[in-house]
Structure 1
Amino acid sequence: MIGRIRGKLLAKQPPEVVIDVQGVGYEVQVPMSCFYQLPELGEDVTLVTHFVVREDAQLLFGFTSLHERTLFRQLIKAQGVGPKLALTILSGMSAQQFVQAVNAGDVSLLVKLPGVGKKTAERLVVELRDRLSALGSDSPFTDAAPVQNQGDSNTLVSDAKADAVSALVALGYKAAQAEKAVQKVHQQGATSEALIRDALKSFS
């Protein structure tokens, strides 16, 4: 199993990044909470990882903290939750917010996430409450801060909006819903990371 990866950040197209490790480019899917903390392209990055092997694919998921990887692994153990939904959950709220919601049995907050209906939310609370109680609501999860991109903001505006919409769709939101959310939070010169972060907040 691949538990850690370190190399140069080659590409960022949320929720996927490409990391160059001695000439080999690894595609890694990361939740947006981790995506915001990534360095600039060409810089070194280290992620703890979870490797998923399926009949039709081999997928690598990356995280900037062991706590988030632990939560991801607990999520995919829950009935009806696969890696994609787990990634969506960790993109829609911070790990700390999720733990607090589960411990409090706050189903109404969980159902705001795409792909999480009432039954799934109730199942998450029942199955994960005991497992996550050890983490506690005061665990050192870190809320991510946006990464500032370099370049001419005027030339990046349209690309930033398109990238933000594309990322939200990849995370499970409907295209029309994603476009509306991005348009609502768009500000001149905003990066795609900032637009995604603000759009996700608007769903909560």
Structure 2
Amino acid sequence: MLWAGEPVSPAPLDRRGLFKALAATAVFMAAGPLTPLPAEATSALGNWNTQTLEAFADTLIPGQRRYTGDLPIAGAVTGPGAVQAGAIQVLTSPQLPLAPWLAGIAGLLDARALAWAATHLLLLPPTWPAFVGLPFSHRTALVTGLFDPDDPDRPIWQVMALLVGLAFDAAGHQTTTTALANGHPGLAWIGFPAPDADGLWRFPQHSYNRPLADLHPRTTASGSPE
């Protein structure tokens, strides 16, 4: 195996601190739209780490390449994926306590990729992070194993996967109305409906084609019980 490039993990991760950050992140995820950092601020993560995290997001929700030679996105499918939908913007949101740990998480993922490449006799390109250099089928197999119940770092990958899904399925770094107005690729791809003219969503077609219950006479105008 041949590989050269930036160090994969300059120091061991403080897993106790990271797991605390993951728990706090899970709480913040329910608080509403996240505030994305400006592009120049997200660059502090570094291209190397950003590419690794992009490749991880693209493995979970693949998309088409943004340009020729776009190796972090494997181009396994046509149409937008998690990266185009803002996965990095969600992961680096200053509201999440996860941001300081992202470089370490990327390094951990690259270390896993190096071990994978060694055991599968794969040659990795020297100018890209190890995980980015893996063929898509191997990325997928590696990431599948990260969620094994016996994997000690499983909570890391579970929260990361939730955030990637939040970017694509819910445009977690924008309000829904803003995301739809801007043509968010994830919401467009899943066919999320536009609001009514007043900006509110109403669903006259019930999932069972009938109301599940009559409105209680003491329900307030806001929909709460009196």
TM-score between the two structures when normalised by the length of structure 2: 0.25
Structure 1 or 2, whichever has the larger Rg, is 2
TM-score between the two structures when normalised by the length of structure 1: 0.27
Name the structure with the higher strand share: 1
Which structure is higher in RCO with an 8 Å CA cutoff and minimum separation 6? 2
